[in-house]
Amino acid sequence: MATFNIVLDKRTKLKEDKYNLAIRMVNRKDVMYINLKKMTESQYGKAFNKKVKDKECREFLETCNGYISKCERIFNDLKTFNKDTFRKRFWEGDKDKPESLLLTDLFDYYMENKENIKPTTIDSLRYTRNRFEKFKPGLSVGDVTVNFLNKFNKNEISKERSPATIDHHMRNLRTIINYFTHVVKIIPKEYQYPFGPGIYSVRLFPIHTGAERA
């Protein structure tokens, strides 16, 4: 299985002290680079500094995560690996799957592409999407941890939301994460699934919005 990473390719220095930001593929002894953009070491350090919290950097990192997921999908789809074919598949686009792991994009994709989805289910999912986005703008899948869910739950309680309403949002969120884990597989395998006994349990007896059945 090939591995993919985002690296600052310092083999060749470009103008204005810049280098190519690239996806590096290692497939046994075979190595390939796909250049994404040019940036300086300082820009690279800022963009990939885990302590940086601004929205622009978070969105850029999510875009890069999307590139990695896309490379993994293409590699798995190719019966025989060929560099030229791989590059063509990467740059020709992948319209059937979202490239971003931002939660708003995943909710929107699900509502637009899920077969036989009911209008009431769409309204329910849109309501949930907006609640999470208001709580944490620019939220991505990687941000959805057990700690995050507990904080969201506490925040909703402080605003006097009912337990049933909170569970309604959690169920919708779980539906989205499950869909992009098992159906449209773009969530990285390393992602730690936050729902379940002993982790974050959603209470029984849901509001019947249809989202769980969609």
CA–CA gap between residue 46 and residue 54 (Å, rounded):
10
Backbone angle region of 138, left / alpha / beta, with phi > 0 → left and psi within -120 to 50 → alpha:
left
pLDDT of residue 5: 94
pLDDT at 211: 44
Predicted local confidence at residue 208, as pLDDT: 41
Residues of the chain with pLDDT under 50: 205-214
Q: Which residues pair with 31 in a beta bridge?
A: 26
Classify residue 63 as exposed, middle or buried by CB count within 10 Å of its CB (0-12, 13-18, 19+): middle
Count CB atoms within 10 A of the CB of residue 40. 14
Is the domain spanning 96-214 CATH 1.10.150? The answer is: yes
Say how far apart CA 22 and CA 135 lie, in whole Å.
Answer: 33
Please check whether residue 202 is in contact with residue 153, taking contact to mean a CB–CB distance below 8 angstroms.
no
| R_g over Cα of the chain | 20
Nearest of 27, 30, 34 to residue 9 by alpha carbon: 34
Structure tokens, 65:
């995560």
Question: In the prediction, which pLDDT does 66 show?
Answer: 84
Q: Give pTM, 2 decimals.
A: 0.54
Residues 97-109 as b/e (b if ≥16 CB within 10 A, e otherwise) read ebbbbbbbbbbbb
Which part of the chain is CATH 1.10.150? Answer: 96-214
Q: Determine the Cα–Cα distance for residues 214 and 212; give it in Å rounded to an integer.
A: 6
What pLDDT score does 51 carry? 74
How many angstroms separate the CA atoms of 214 and 96, rounded?
Answer: 19
Side-chain half-sphere CA neighbours of 85 within 13 A: 9
Other beta carbons within 10 Å of 175: 22
Q: Are strands 3-9 and 30-40 parallel, antiparallel or unpaired?
A: unpaired
User: Given this model, what pLDDT does residue 214 score?
Assistant: 37
